[in-house]
Amino acid sequence: MGLLLWPAGQPPPGSIAQLPPPLRRLHAGLRSLPPVADVAEQPLVLGPWCWAAPLWSNLYFCSPNFPTGIDHDFIDFSAAGVTSLGQLLHLEQAVAAAPGGAAYALVCTTMLGRYAAFASRFYAVEWLAALLAALPPAWVHAARAAAAELAAGLLQPPALDDALAMLLPRLGWAHPALPTPLLLSSFTVRHGTSLLTSPTATRRAAQYFTPFGLLADAAAPAPAAVVQAVLARLWRVRWENCHKEPFWRLVCDAVPTASRLHMDQPCQCGGAPADRRHHFWTCPVARGVVDSIAGELTARQLLPVPLAAAHIWLAAAPAGVHGGVWDVVSLAAVAAMDHGRRRMYAMSLAPPPVPPLVPVCLRSARARFWTLLTDFVALRCAPASWQAHLPPGHPFIYFDAAAATFKVALPAAAAPPL
């Protein structure tokens, strides 16, 4: 399990780093597989075996604060030889004992005392409490109950094999081509090859589409199939592909800049660390585009609820807006936000004096949005089938029967400044 969960891009702990080359190659091979998961149908029943549950590389100890487990943050305990939840509780009792006592002396001289991280008793107690707080409370409660039964002589000490017998049969991979999951306890090289050669579409859905559906609407996440259908529909829009590209980068979290701005640098607006939601929704530059769209809908009384990210990110047309027009609006909005972000980054590198970035780039992004809609109409990209569905007064794009042409519905309030 340790080889499966330790990130391949980070150096493994000393015990793994000293492994022979064949085992290090095994580590690289296991890390190339999809993440292991609990594939059992029935919920896990906690019990006295939790006392012997392994602390490190334990999938069940992952949490929002520790998405890859507790190994990296509390590696000092691993180096000190603490391997199970029961040992951790024993250590808690020993450290809390009076200095000079046999239990305290044994632990502090033979276990913690050899490591600089635990040189201070106060720090050792504090760090121990932090580790216990990082563990699931139900697991700690079950282990404490087992420890109480052990102290009363009502229970034989559970062994590591008891814990693994409960955990390993539940861990594995769900494979779309097989009726039952691939279990870690019966995993073979043949199974690994099957996982690595699974259809590209399946891997893409798990890696990009499912997380994006959750990011677009956390309350009602869109399934991967819905995200894939949205991309397929937008790709069929008759328009230059360069205007569609930013939408694809949004979905795949691949916003390119000279230094991958959204990955390792804060946004130039100074408002928040850079990520997809900030660049394409909460950044003041992006909000300029969103507010312009919302203003057009509000002016035509078509916005009963606030405009949400899912409306644009999933091209979900509000009531009263033609679906085809909203697809173009979504593409143009994301492209305009990307344009404003790029311009803000370029202006930040200009020699002084640098004008205020946010106001300038906000106006630029908003103007870019309406320019793209005008470009779509001017190039006659709108299909003729829209004519019957876009009467005068339709937001964003309408059909002028007298002139026999599509036009952009550009209200004065939304007109971009010159």
**Over the stretch 111-123, which tens digit does the pLDDT of each residue have?**
565 555 566 667 7
Same domain, residue pair 224 and 128 = no
Residue 186: CB atoms within 10 A of its CB come to 10
The verdict on 239 and 327 lying in the same domain is: yes
**Contacts of 201 by beta carbon, 8 Å cutoff, 6+ apart:** 228
Largest pairwise CA distance in the chain: 97
| Residue 71 forms part of a structural domain | yes
Spatial neighbors of 28 by CB under 8 A, at least 6 apart, are 8
Domain boundary residue among 174, 194, 214?
194
Q: Are residues 178 and 292 in the same domain?
A: no
Which regions in the chain score pLDDT beneath 50?
A: 1-4, 6-9, 256-264, 412-418
The answer to whether residue 290 sits within a structural domain is yes
* 283-338 pLDDT per residue, tens: 999 999 999 999 999 888 887 678 899 999 999 999 889 999 999 999 999 999 99
- Examine the domain organization and report whether 105 and 84 are in the same domain: yes
What does the pLDDT read at residue 260? 44
The per-residue pLDDT for 417 is 43
H-helix or E-strand containing 362? helix 357-378
Q: Which two tokens stand for residue 159?
A: 């062994």
Number of domains comprising the chain: 2
Give the per-residue pLDDT at 150: 85
Specify the pLDDT at position 364. 93
Q: Which of 162, 194, 226 is the last residue of a domain?
A: 194
- CB within 8 Å of 8: residues ≥ 6 apart: 27, 28, 31, 32
Alpha carbons within 13 A on the beta-carbon side of 168: 13
Residue 200 lies in a domain: no
Could you tell me which of 23, 20, 161, 234 has the C-alpha nearest to residue 6? 23
Tell me if 81 is assigned to some domain. yes
pLDDT of 185 reads: 76
Q: Are residues 256 and 280 in the same domain?
A: yes
pTM, rounded to two decimals: 0.53
Hey, what are 325's tokens?
């027009």
Q: Are 268 and 354 in contact (CB under 8 A)?
A: no
249, containing H or E segment = helix 245-252
| Burial readout 269-296 (b: 16 or more C-beta within 10 A, e: otherwise) | beeeebbbebbbbbbbbbbbbbbbbbeb
In whole angstroms, give the CA distance from residue 90 to residue 147: 9
- Domain limits at 301? 205-414
> What is the per-residue pLDDT for 287?
93
Residues 19 and 42 in one domain: yes
Q: Is 121 contained in some domain?
A: yes
- Res 8: pLDDT: 45
* In a shared domain, residues 269 and 173: no
Residue matched to tokens 């409306």 = 311
- 68 Cβ partners below 8 Å, 6+ apart? 5, 7, 62
State the amino acid at position 412 in one-letter form.
A
Q: Assess whether 380 and 313 both reside in one domain.
A: yes
